[in-house]
Amino acid sequence: MSDSPFVIAGRTFTSRLIIGTGKYSSPAVMTRAHEASGADMVTVAVRRVNISDRSRESLLDYIDTDRMFILPNTAGCYTADEAIRTARLGREAGLSNWVKLEVIGDERTLFPDNEALLEATHVLVGEGFVVLPYTNDDPIACRKLQDAGAAAVMPLGAPIGSGLGIQNPNNIRIIREFARVPVIVDAGVGTASDAAIAMELGADGVLMNTAIAGAEDPVSMATAMKHAVIAGRLAYLSGRIPRKMYASASSPVEGMVGR
């Protein structure tokens, strides 16, 4: 089965799995999980340097930047202005003009603030950013983001870090059908089957952090996720059988012994 390459804003990625760099028990575990995942894009957060304690090593010491594309995020931003400011800083600190745009609307759910997200997308696209917005699993919101110039849309499967899996599979399918840009399911994956389901629904990629970093064995979970994304994608491309209420025998009904 041949697949079209995974391209975002003209850049081709070998893996449809995008993973985070947060919450790992140690940088060494993160590095091994990254390798096991096969991912070639990782997300990072932009934060103040700790002035009083300069002993902490840089995150980038543990990321193979020759192989991994760095995608700075605006996690923790609650207004468009904050997210725009953070995106600009991320661009200066990094090596690209890409941003995973988050504008959060609520602390408990970490659901996006759609209006502010759209506003920030407009501004950053205007400044030449490649914007990948983390959004609700709302086809209309995704369409507006795409029309604003987003390079991909990244609907959540479930709240960030919840591990609940894809809560609204039908919306993901509709988003895929509406979108002319890549659809990346971002957040909510708990285990490998969730990632496979996202891909089977037609998502072009899956982005996750906690499901790997928080697993008891992050390195083997990263391997599982790698296979799940490949399996889900292949299943999607292969055209699954329709769901039926009753059985249809796999073995011939003729030629039964003693009948």
Partner 1 sequence: MHITLNGEPFEIDQPLSVVALLEQLDIDARRVAVEHNLTIVKRHRFPEVIVGDGDQVEIVNFVGGG
Question: Which listed residue (23, 100, 144, 244) is catalytic?
Answer: 100
C-alpha angle 33/183/60, rounded to 5°? Answer: 35
Question: Which of 58, 248 has the CB closer to partner 1?
Answer: 58
Contacts of 208 (CB under 8 A, 6+ apart): 17, 18, 19, 20, 186, 187, 189, 195, 225
Instruction: Count other Cβ atoms within 10 Å, centred on residue 107.
Output: 8
Q: In the bound complex, what is the minimum distance in angstroms from residue 237's beta carbon to partner 1?
A: 28
Structure tokens at 195: 């990632």
The terminus-to-terminus CA distance of the chain in angstroms comes to 42
Residue among 11 and 23 whose Cβ is closer to partner 1: 23
Find the shortest distance in angstroms from Cβ 207 to partner 1: 8
User: What is the binding site for partner 1 (CB under 8 A)?
Assistant: 20-24, 30, 43-49, 51, 54, 58-60, 70, 72-73, 75, 85, 88-94, 160-161, 187, 207-210
Note if 100 is an active site residue: yes
Q: How far apart are CA 105 and CA 171, in angstroms?
A: 20
If the CB atoms of residues 19 and 145 are measured against partner 1, the closer one turns out to be 19
Provide, rounded to whole angstroms, the least separation between the CB of residue 76 and partner 1. Answer: 9
What are the catalytic residues?
100
